[in-house]
C-alpha cells in the first residue's frame, strides 16, 4: 500500500471509529484534529512528485525567459552572479533573485525590471497555488 493511501486509511479510522468512541470533549477533538493533520500529510505525499516536477520545469523556463528578457539589458554584476548561483539552488534562490533585481533596478531600467520581476513572480505564484492545493 502506498504511504498516502495508508495515511488516508488512518485518517478515516481516526474520524469514523476512534473519534466517536472516545469519551471526553478534549480527547474527541484531538482525535478529529489528528485526522485532519494526517489527511493533509497524505495529500502532500500524493502530489509531492507532481509538484516537484512542475517546479523544476517552471524554474528552468524562468531562467530561459530571464536570459531572453535580460539579453539586451545592462545587467549589473550582482544580478548576473545571483542568477548564475541561483540556477544551482532551484527555488531556494528565488528570494535572492528578487533582491538582486530590486538592487539593480536603476541599471536595468524600469521596463526591463518589471518584465524580469513578472517572470519570477509567476514562479512564486505557482508555488503558492501548489501549497494552497495541499492545504485545502
How high does pLDDT run on average in the chain?
Answer: 91
Residue with cell 520581476: 117
Q: Give the predicted TM-score (pTM) of the model.
A: 0.76
Q: Give the tens place of pLDDT for each residue, 13-63.
A: 998 989 999 899 999 899 999 999 999 999 899 899 999 999 999 999 999
CB atoms within 10 A of CB 131: 12
Q: Is the pLDDT of residue 72 over 90?
A: no
Q: Which residue has the cell 533582491?
A: 99
Quickly tell me which residue has 514562479 as its cell. 123
Amino acid at each position: 500500500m502506498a504511504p498516502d493511501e495508508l495515511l488516508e486509511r488512518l485518517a478515516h479510522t481516526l474520524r469514523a471509529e476512534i473519534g466517536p468512541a472516545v469519551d471526553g470533549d478534549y480527547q474527541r477533538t484531538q482525535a478529529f484534529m489528528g485526522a485532519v493533520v494526517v489527511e493533509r500529510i497524505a495529500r502532500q505525499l500524493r502530489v509531492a512528485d507532481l509538484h516537484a516536477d512542475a517546479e523544476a520545469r517552471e524554474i528552468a523556463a524562468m531562467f530561459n525567459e530571464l536570459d531572453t528578457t535580460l539579453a539586451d539589458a545592462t545587467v549589473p554584476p550582482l544580478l548576473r552572479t545571483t542568477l548564475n548561483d541561483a540556477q544551482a539552488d532551484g527555488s531556494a534562490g528565488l528570494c535572492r533573485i528578487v533582491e538582486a533585481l530590486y538592487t539593480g533596478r536603476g541599471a536595468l531600467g524600469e521596463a526591463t525590471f518589471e518584465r524580469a520581476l513578472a517572470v519570477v513572480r509567476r514562479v512564486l505564484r505557482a508555488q503558492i497555488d501548489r501549497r494552497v492545493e495541499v492545504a485545502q
